[in-house]
Structure 1
């Protein structure tokens, strides 16, 4: 039921990025095929929910803005499943926080979804229009193969449908599928998709991440975790260990200094304005 309710750090990275995503979007070619994770720089930046402190989260206009600005090499978004099985781009289980409606997302079908409108936060810089949240198919069609994507499967019952959408577009090496549950991550791996597992600072205190290295492609760790827990994740054998959700340059620099090799941020533009200050091999990787 739906009810109404009241209404530059990255410049340093650029030297190791073989392709900078700037200017108006157009077909971007990388070796004659879709851009894949194998073409990412050593230390990529991810626009979390499109860069939620700079654009309306999980919106098509926000993702387009992040893509055009070129301050991240990966676009992140969340997914949920409607009543009829349609995967859509949305974070919360309910519509209340980010739209002009209330009620559960899973209570709607695709036809009803067309009537939903996002409510941009007043604190966002710039001017943003109200718009319909996109479906996952629409985002894959707009960005698939042009930039690496990262989607969180908030509702695991939609994994099969997500896998079919990704496979049909030839994007199995271009899209990370994210979850907080190691067993769901194992399912993602068995479906032949790139597996991302995120963990909170509290979970990381008792995690043994080395157990997941056979089926996790990306370990997504809480930047607020203790130094020892971040180092254990870095030493786990999982090839990519990226820190979330980074907001300040100092958080980024700490994560890089502890060995993380990717940054997931709500503010990619802000980080781009502040060069990374980290020692040794990390500085070399950032082109310093």
Structure 2
């Protein structure tokens, strides 16, 4: 059985609209070990699951989420944009990775609060911008953190000391054997994103990565091998 985790990027977006309940359910059914999602904060402070700053690309409304209440988001999308609390209830069978790509601390604190309210701390990890992750660490000393790192040089010692990440997450094209080995020498696991080519998936497996994120979780599951649930 493989110990490499299959991570579903925003759910199963080739079968259901990304970052929706249907997409996450499809990813779990396809054999994901972990689902990745994005969090935005509404005007009234509710963390909702959406990658973009506006509703335009996915829902046809050029309205910034930060200027809308959670109820307005629900009405404009016919309930399509779920709250983080709603998604955590659906993803209970697997691990959830919450991506916080912005430097703003408010979404990070709201996400941690929602996770705590759901009693989901042991099945949730966080990745994203170091500033947002610093807010996660300040809010939850026990949180599992994956530092998103966008260069081949190692993270600064101060960053590692402050965040205490369990993971380094890299765009897959940056990775090679030496970088993976250096991370493992520091007792850090390596996650590669976002990989849709079976050939690239196999190359990453040969490097020794610990997790692969893909939009095509069914294909990823096939390449990795039998289900390895955490």
TM-score when scaled to structure 1? Answer: 0.69
State the structure with more CA Rg.
Answer: 1
Query: Could you say which structure has the higher strand fraction?
Result: 2
Offset at 1:49? 0.4
Do the aligned partners of residues 55 and 205 (structure 1) sit closer, same or farther apart at CA in structure 2, a change above 3 Å counting?
same
Consecutive unaligned residues in structure 2, runs of 5 or more: none
Partner of 2:33: 73
SS at match of 1:98: helix
Residue 87 of structure 1: which of 39, 44, 47 is its match?
47
Residue 60 of structure 1: which of 2, 8, 21 is its match?
21
**Residue pair 1:223, 1:246 contacting (<8 A) in 2 also:** yes
Offset at 1:238? 4.3
Aligned alpha-carbon RMSD (Å): 2.4
Do the aligned partners of residues 176 and 268 (structure 1) sit closer, same or farther apart at CA in structure 2, a change above 3 Å counting?
same
Consecutive unaligned residues in structure 1, runs of 5 or more: 1-14, 17-41, 118-129, 277-285
Give matches, 1:1-288, under 5 Å: 15-16=1-2, 42-70=3-31, 72-117=32-77, 132-144=80-92, 146-154=93-101, 155-179=104-128, 181-190=129-138, 191-192=140-141, 193-200=143-150, 204-208=151-155, 212-214=159-161, 215-227=164-176, 230-231=179-180, 234-235=183-184, 237-274=186-223
Do the aligned partners of residues 252 and 109 (structure 1) sit closer, same or farther apart at CA in structure 2, a change above 3 Å counting?
same
Query: Could you say which structure has the higher helix fraction?
Result: 2
**Aligned counterparts of 1:174 and 1:217: Cα–Cα separation in 2:** 14
**Aligned counterparts of 1:183 and 1:233: Cα–Cα separation in 2:** 24
SS at match of 2:17: coil
**Aligned counterparts of 2:131 and 2:17: Cα–Cα separation in 1:** 31
